[in-house]
Structure 1
Amino acid sequence: NHTVLYWKSMGIDYSKMLVGITGVGRILELVNVSSHLPGSPITPTVEYGPYYNIRLGLAFPEVCVYKAASQYYFDGLQKNPYLIRGHTWIGYEDKQSIEEKIKWFQHLDVAGIMFNGLDEDDFTGSLCNEGKYPLLTHIRAIVQPGIIESSSTTTSPDDDAKIGDDDAKMVSEETKHLISIIISAFVLFILGYGIGQIIIAYRN
């Protein structure tokens, strides 16, 4: 929201803004485990996730790995969840926080919403136990209310990719057909030109 308001103050209308939502959270080390609200003192320790190796960051599938042994909190002011595991503090986006953001962005009437990277979501569905692409699926269900979130009716980015492949195949077939027409026309032109030259030579 801070960034959106900043660009608005710089003269950019909301209707021209494309707002990004990330699947990467922040992993930090608290100075005092009893002081864990956003803005609490942290150490300079640099943490990395177990799979993506992001400096001070965890992709959503990694967050899911940490959840089991962590204490969950939700910051009502910033509308974001965070986890506490010993001195480790993990702030991230989940379905609830994303829904809060999207509703606010829709209220502002921004141009659109984007997700930073497909691999930031649980694309295998094996770590969060919420199916494939749980965050993206939820985002799509919010911005396209007619879509029901169920395995039988919701399409995933994988399905969209298959549709894209089918479209590409269709375009490829059309291209082949067009090329064959061009080649045929060229051959007919050469034959016609050759026959014309023979007739001219014969008359002379």
Structure 2
Amino acid sequence: DGLVKLWLSLGVPREKLLIGIPAYGRSFTLASRQKGLHAPVSGPGYPGRYTKTRGFLSYYEICEKEHSRSWQKVWLDTEKSWYMTSGDQWISYEDIDSATLKAQYAKGEQLAGVFIWSVDNDEFSGFFCNTEPFPITRQVFATLNLPIPVTSAPAIAIQSRLPAAGPSVRFVNVQSQSQSSLSSPILPPNLQKLLNALSALSGTPNDVHMHEATLPAPPPPIAHLTHNAEYICSRHRMGR
């Protein structure tokens, strides 16, 4: 509220201000037994099970912890948000209730609206929080009296054209050696594994055509240095 009022006092139009609502939490590792607001910390919190980033937890990861008895939730009335602690871990985050209050504030102040950062961190399945999918996003839409958008995958027409006449190009035919794998001595191991995986998903074709320009250059021949190595070793033993 103080920051919004500061921007307004500086002449920023209300219709250009948005309130950000994070669908994630910030975590910290406590440096002492203190667990309240402004408790000293030693660094970021442990990485989440899915996001695997220190100091950051998605909302669905936080919901998992909320259902555990080892975590204690505390409501911050001034900030209108939550924090929770367990052991040496401290997490500050938003949930449906705090997101509702922030959306109501933006609406009451006649601001441009709110934005959610980011939707993929919201509870996308409904499984972790035992709610409908995307509970924070849905609640913000409902608070602002906005319809929930319904989207479907767009139909994409793919048209293929033969290239205009020009210099002739040569393709390399990589024959499959069995029904389960594609193999060629000119392919590096990583590319060979990729082709094998693709063939397992889509069925092994009779042959695979590749433009020679996309193939990696063959490795240089291995030089035989046997005599030179023996010469160097003999000079070393003789102290030369």
Structure with greater proportional helix content? 1
Q: Which bin holds the TM-score, normalised by the shorter protein?
A: 0.5 to 0.7
Q: Report deviation, 1:21.
A: 1.0
Distance of 1:122 and 1:45 partners within structure 2: 23
CA-CA distance at 1:85 after TM superposition: 0.7
Match of 2:52 in 1: 53
Whole-Å separation in 2 of the counterparts to 1:133 and 1:43: 33
Q: How far 1:3 moved relative to its partner?
A: 4.2
Equivalence map 1:126-165=2 (5 Å): 126-144=127-145, 155=148, 160-162=150-152, 165=153
Contact 2:19–2:102, Cα closer than 8 Å, also in 1? no
Pick the structure with greater CA Rg.
Answer: 2
Taking a change above 3 Å as real, the CA distance of residues 51 and 3 of structure 1, as seen in their structure-2 partners, is farther
Amino acid aligned to 2:74: Y
Distance 2:81 2:24 in 1: 13
Q: Distance in 1 between matches of 2:31 and 2:110?
A: 40
Q: Quote the RMSD (CA, aligned, Å).
A: 2.3
Alignment of 1:79-158 (within 5 A): 79-144=80-145, 155=148
Q: Which amino acid aligns with 1:128?
A: C
Residue 66 of structure 1 aligns to a residue whose secondary structure is helix
Name 1:43's counterpart in structure 2: 42
Alignment of 1:68-83 (within 5 A): 68=68, 69-83=70-84
TM-score, normalisation: structure 2? 0.58
Question: 1:44 Cα shift?
Answer: 2.4
Sequence identity of aligned pairs in percent?
26
Counterparts of 2:124 and 2:104 in 1: how far apart (Å)?
Answer: 24
Distance 2:46 2:6 in 1: 30
The one of the two structures with greater contact order (alpha-carbon pairs below 8 A, sep at least 6) is 1
For structure 1, which runs of at least 5 residues remain unmatched after alignment? 148-154, 174-204
Choose 102-111 or 47-56, whichever is displaced more.
47-56
Deviation at 1:9, TM superposition (A): 4.3
- Inter-partner Cα distance in structure 1 for 2:77 and 2:45: 27
User: What letter corresponds to residue 83 of structure 1 in structure 2?
Assistant: M
Q: How many residues align?
A: 155
2:14 paired with 1:14: yes
